[in-house]
Structure 1
């Protein structure tokens, strides 16, 4: 399944491996603004920056099958903000296709 591969790529700040797990039609909808980011928007520089500065703890896969991946983690951002983040991703062709998040400040 994809969860362990995604986590490993993020933890190792391996942008190429991380992006390879995302469908070419991937979109990410931000919980805070509703803004939609595409795979093309995931520049190597911005992804590497996020991987190096966003600290995720207590990560876990709540559920995963061939169609969906549901994750939860506590994230700490460079601003010092901390959130409990639920990430739900639909899969297509064995890759992450559509992702949305929900977050609660902690």
Structure 2
């Protein structure tokens, strides 16, 4: 199973523990929009809050490109405040896990 498939499955299942296992211990997560950076521990805590909220929804996802070094996906997301965004996700991969994740989001009208 590809990393994209694993990531999609844990997000659909809202399985925080398995999600955390996909992240390298030295992972860094960067939000392009705000410039905020998070460690694995910080990000997993935030992701847990999102994954337990039923109004945080991945409406559609597709893998743009994936190999052993990089994963690029594009998603349409709905949020608890009833906003929607198109999200580009770029993950650098090390030892089969996400070592660096950066998102870029565009608000949708």
Q: Is the Cα contact below 8 Å between 2:20 and 2:44 reproduced in 1? A: no
State how 1:34-49 maps to structure 2 within 5 Å. Answer: 34-44=35-45, 46-49=46-49
Give 1:32 shift: 2.3
Gaps of 5+ in 1: none
Moved over 3 A (4+): none
Task: Quote the residue 1:25 is aligned against.
Answer: 26
State how 1:1-106 maps to structure 2 within 5 Å. Answer: 1-44=2-45, 46-53=46-53, 54-106=56-108
Gaps of 5+ in 2: none
RMSD: 1.2
User: Structure 1 length normalisation: TM-score?
Assistant: 0.92
User: Structure 2 length normalisation: TM-score?
Assistant: 0.90
Q: Is the Cα contact below 8 Å between 2:71 and 2:92 reproduced in 1? A: yes
Instruction: Determine the C-alpha separation between the residues in 2 that align with 1:5 and 1:20.
Output: 10
Corresponding pairs, count: 105
